Chains A and B, each alone.
Chain A
Amino acid sequence: MDDRKFDELLKSKIGEYRNPGFEPSALAALHQKMAAISQPWYGRYRTELIAGTATLLCAGMIFLGQYFSNRVNEQWMATNIQALKDQENQIQLLKEEIERLRNLAPDTIRITEFSGQDNSGYYLLLLSKISALERKLETLGNPENQMRNSQLIPLADYNAGKFSNSLIFDKNESMRIHSISRLNTRNPEVSRAEGKIEVSPKEKESVNLSAKTIRDIEKHYMRGVGIRVGPAVEIHRGFYSEGEGAYNFGGGIAADFIMSPSLSLETGVKYALHTNKVKNADSSNLNFPDVDPQLGQLNTAEIDFYSLELPLYLKYRYPFSDKTYLQTGVGYSFFIYTKEEFDYDYEISGNPGASINTLVKDKNFTIYPGTLNFSLGLSKELKNKKILETSLFYQHGVGSMGIEKIKLQFLGVKGSYWFKIR
């Protein structure tokens, strides 16, 4: 008997063999096996738990960062409050000095006012000193204002006499009033009413500063590398060498290292899902794993891959105003595939309407060549001092990725919410 006949005979004899009877011990063994691998109640929420824990960790890090940052600020504030108290005493002494001068007899005042520039200068110096100290008082009370109000005159300048030299001296009777009115124009919190100089709270001025001025101010106040961190979310669409991409979401945590007023380096970690549907997969050039031709002709293949991305962006900032910046970036992302799923749809031969689905999973962590990234967006400082950044990004894959060896590109929108750490 030839081999073919032998094979056919055996196949007909044992191919559809059914074992008579049932063994309860087999079922008991199955129950044991199931009990051994059964997950605890929280096992089914494993992914959610991991995501929740990661979020809590990130939130904790942000909270601790804020907490320590606040503690440093508090110490700084305490030192400055003490300095301010000393300055308040000085102001009080100066006010008393002004009052004393004003209450002098008329002849004495005339003599004092017209006897020379030095005395006039001294009087104006007192006024400007009050003004400068009041400004300093407000500035130190609210450090954020230091960045905003470029017209503030540092105490060092004042002491060096720069401030008093900026005043215009008129050698006439109205000199004092004229000078005070000039001071009032420059410094609204100083007013003259009923013969007395009063100090009232200064209203905030809205100052439109040029980009160069903002840069100069930032450069002046910059101390080392600034750090900010925050969550980032994105929606993107994939464009693949074969197949049709879909809109997918991604999210992660990002950190921005501010190197200079115009340059910063952004990095972080991002987790995202990407979907690609390949029609007529049978004639595709892609490398689909574990395709089973016995099931029929491969009709469509839907590829879902989960990636962990480690981006590195060099960003350039250009200020539109003191709170709004235009940002553009270029960078590179390292890509790690954490899971890849291939959902195959086979068309059963001889039965065009019928199909069968199989799912092939690859859960290996695989590192692939990454993507070149480009971004353009805006960042705005919110009222709560946090920064909201939105940008349009484009990622161009370098080389082939995935088991299927596909070339990819992504286009999407990203949003980040930054917390200042330093």
Chain B
Amino acid sequence: MYREFYPYAIGICLRYSRTRDEAIEILNDGFLKIFTKLDHYTKGLSFTGWLRKVMINSAIDYYRRNEKHYNALDISHVQYEAVSETALDALSAEEIIAAVQKLPPSYRMVFNLFVIEGYKHVEIANMIGISVGTSKSNLAVAREKLKKMLIIENDKLGKEKNG
């Protein structure tokens, strides 16, 4: 089962972590929950859906455990960048995930939960113990930082192709 669902599960965990090692730790926490609480899974429903939920919860737990070690970031340097659709298309999923991983933990968490998983700000605020306002502000900063990083990444890619 571990081998079967590894590619899907690690894909989720990578988005919520800073490094691959961190992702593996979240992944294994998730699988541990799955193995010990398999009786909570309702037969007939999508197993991948349940697995996805467990992995996200593991990522949130990991974030909460390590929250005190994360440093607060100054967001005054945020600048609004414009990124084009074609620039995004040119980048691979791995490159985008690498950019997401570079985001500060609290921004990365809010970004993933809102943009990829589709949670609302109120729910995110309850999940990770922040205010709705902070969730909104983190998302805005995360977006702008990501746009900036993706532009830089895209430029690098263009230079490599040209040069």
Contacts and interface: CB of A to CB of B under 8 A. Distances in A.
Give the secondary structure class of A's interface. Answer: helix
Given A6-B143, A9-B85, A359-B40, A22 B28 contact: no
A10 B11 contact: no
Given A6-B147, A7-B115, A14 B42 contact: no
Contacts of A11: 115-116
A179 to B, nearest CB: 87
A13 to B, nearest CB: 5
A3 B143 contact: yes
Contact of B27 (A21, A26, A37, A294): A26
A27 to B, nearest CB: 6
B24 A18 contact: no
**Cβ-closest 7 pairs across A and B:** A17-B11, A18-B7, A30-B28, A7-B115, A19-B10, A17-B93, A26-B24
A22 B11 contact: no
B55 interface: no
A23 interface: yes
B109 to A, nearest CB: 15
Given A19-B10, A26-B27, A29-B28, A14 B100 contact: yes
22 contacts: A6-B83, A6-B143, A7-B114, A10-B96, A10-B146, A11-B115, A11-B116, A13-B91, A13-B96, A18-B11, A19-B10, A20-B7, A22-B6, A25-B24, A26-B10, A26-B28, A30-B28, A30-B31, A354-B45, A355-B42, A358-B40, A359-B40
A111 interface: no
B59 interface: no
Nearest to B48: A16
A341 to B, nearest CB: 12
B51 to A, nearest CB: 13
Nearest to B31: A30
B150 to A, nearest CB: 9
A30 B42 contact: no
Counting chain A CB atoms within 10 Å of each CB, the highest count among B3, B11, B25, B83 belongs to B11
Interface in A351-378: 354-359
